[in-house]
Amino acid sequence: MYGIEAINHHNGWAMAAAGALIVMFGLSVLSFVISQLHKVVAMIENWANKKTQPVETKVETDTAQPRYLLDIDELRKRYRLLSAEFGETFELKRLYEIATESGLPHVHLAIRSLREAGILLPVGDGMFKWQ
């Protein structure tokens, strides 16, 4: 028995259809997984970020007063320790880089709060010093 007769006798048409359906189903599942991959990555990143300690907030009721992420003295201590190796004057860019590498949250806001409080003073030519 050869050809079409053999295919009919051994259920070849059903096997071919089943194989095509399995391949199409597999490709559909694969395309769905790829389309949702960005959500899985975001979920993993959020899970990793939740491991860090939450930031304490201190919000002043008077709108004229600046808002600080932490107590300003705590911010001063943390950032001053980071810049201890820089010397008397340093570039703000270096402080920002080392704070970011250390994993401190909201580095821009913290440095801005230190400047507004008069703790981090500009010297000139992009250099800063501690009060």
The answer to pTM > 0.75 is: no
Encode the chain (131 residues) as per-residue pLDDT tens digits.
888 999 889 989 999 999 999 999 999 999 999 999 999 999 888 887 776 655 555 555 555 554 445 688 888 888 888 888 888 888 888 888 888 888 888 888 888 888 888 888 888 887 888 88
Exposure on the CB side of residue 18, measured as CA atoms within 13 A: 5
Q: What is the C-alpha separation between 3 and 1, in angstroms, rounded?
A: 7
Exposure on the CB side of residue 82, measured as CA atoms within 13 A: 22
